[in-house]
């Protein structure tokens, strides 16, 4: 064989696998969806996320794979799931609250992480700033702590004689600690006295509420993984203690809470899909500003109000986005 023919053949042989590889379909990106609660509790949020991805051209099972995992309200499961996603080498992790994001950051420090609802991402150190998050994390703030004053104003409309407030929060969660401070400051500004009920586990709830029975006029609950998982217990005990309760999302009101005011969480998860789309098309999380809620909802449970002997003002009911009867 002549030298020139050999070189030509060798070059063709070397090029053939490259050409064959170029014709193979591109790797389907994998999104790890870390839900901190249960599939049932988060079904509306997950569905909103998947629908928006579909609208953006990502077809689950064809052009994208989504690995759903659920922590079932257990903080220890967050780290386990995050580590599993790291082993699976997912392309993006999507999750919600502060503890879940922190677990994902620790387990997957270089994987892009998009959060749907972190109460104070700057205050808890998740991002450097809202405009320039830096690192591998970005998403949407739920303004949990910032809404404390508004919630207390609404609570005073329903409980006109409000003088002493009980404030419950999980002091093991950095966000809840920040929110506790905001609620305390708002209470002082409104001239309210308050008792702070520090909890760390579900077993602390009954004794905490027992300590303010007959003493407080209402209860404010800082929303997090612990209180969400214990929402029925909290509301049942509060009802027995004749305490009207203010919460941060409608899930608590579906579990017999009195009222809630906060962002529309399915909308936040829907908007999370836009971040995923941008990152999969080449954007870096560090360059995508953290956005804030645009939709807020006031939800009132009239059945609970009647059980407490409370008459909710018609003016407030007219402003409510949803009234449960």
Q: 75-100 pLDDT, tens per residue? A: 889 999 999 999 999 999 999 988 89
Q: What is the pLDDT of residue 16?
A: 37
- Cβ contact 279:178 at 8 Å: no
* Alpha-carbon dihedral 240, 260, 265, 291, rounded to 10 degrees: -140
Q: What is the pLDDT of residue 5?
A: 42
- CA 237 vs. chain centroid, Å, equals 25
247 forms beta bridges with 260
Q: What is the pLDDT of residue 63?
A: 96
- CA 212 vs. chain centroid, Å, equals 29
- Cβ contact 278:226 at 8 Å: no
Nearest to 163 by CA among 172, 171, 155, 175: 155
For the chain, list residues with pLDDT below 50: 1-24
Q: What is the pLDDT of residue 26?
A: 66
Tell me the domains of the chain and their CATH numbers: 30-142+264-295 (3.40.50.2300), 145-263+297-324 (3.40.50.2300)
| CA distances from residue 118 to 71, 139, 145, 303 in whole angstroms, order as listed | 17, 8, 10, 31
Q: What is the pLDDT of residue 1?
A: 44
């Amino acid at each position: 064989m002549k030298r020139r023919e050999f070189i030509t053949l060798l070059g063709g042989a070397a090029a053939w696998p490259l050409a064959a590889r170029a014709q193979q379909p591109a790797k389907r990106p994998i999104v790890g969806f870390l839900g901190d609660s249960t599939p049932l509790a988060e079904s509306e949020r997950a569905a909103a996320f998947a629908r928006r991805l579909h609208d953006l051209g990502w077809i689950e099972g064809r052009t994208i794979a989504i690995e759903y995992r659920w922590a079932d309200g257990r903080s220890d499961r967050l780290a386990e799931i995050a580590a599993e996603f790291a082993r699976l080498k997912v392309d993006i992790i999507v999750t919600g609250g502060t503890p879940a994001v922190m677990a994902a950051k620790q387990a997957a420090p270089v994987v892009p992480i998009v959060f749907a609802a972190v109460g104070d991402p700057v205050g808890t150190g998740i991002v450097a700033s809202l405009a320039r998050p830096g690192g591998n994390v970005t998403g949407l703030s739920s303004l949990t702590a910032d809404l404390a004053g508004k919630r207390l104003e609404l609570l005073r409309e329903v409980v006109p004689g409000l003088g002493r407030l009980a404030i419950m929060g999980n002091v093991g969660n950095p966000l809840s600690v920040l929110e506790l401070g905001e609620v305390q400051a708002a209470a002082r500004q409104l001239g309210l006295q308050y008792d702070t009920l520090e909890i760390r586990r579900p077993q602390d709830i009954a004794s905490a509420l027992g300590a303010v029975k007959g003493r407080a006029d209402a209860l404010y609950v800082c929303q997090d993984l612990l209180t969400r998982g214990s929402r029925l217990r909290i509301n049942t005990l509060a009802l027995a203690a004749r305490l009207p309760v203010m919460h941060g999302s409608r899930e608590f009101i579906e579990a017999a809470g009195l009222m809630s005011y906060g962002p529309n969480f399915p909308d936040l998860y829907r908007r999370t899909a836009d971040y995923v789309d941008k990152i999969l098309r080449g954007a870096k999380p560090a360059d995508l500003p953290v956005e804030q809620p645009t939709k807020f909802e006031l939800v009132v449970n009239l059945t609970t109000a009647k059980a407490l002997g409370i008459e909710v003002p018609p003016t407030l009911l007219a402003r409510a986005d949803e009234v449960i009867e």
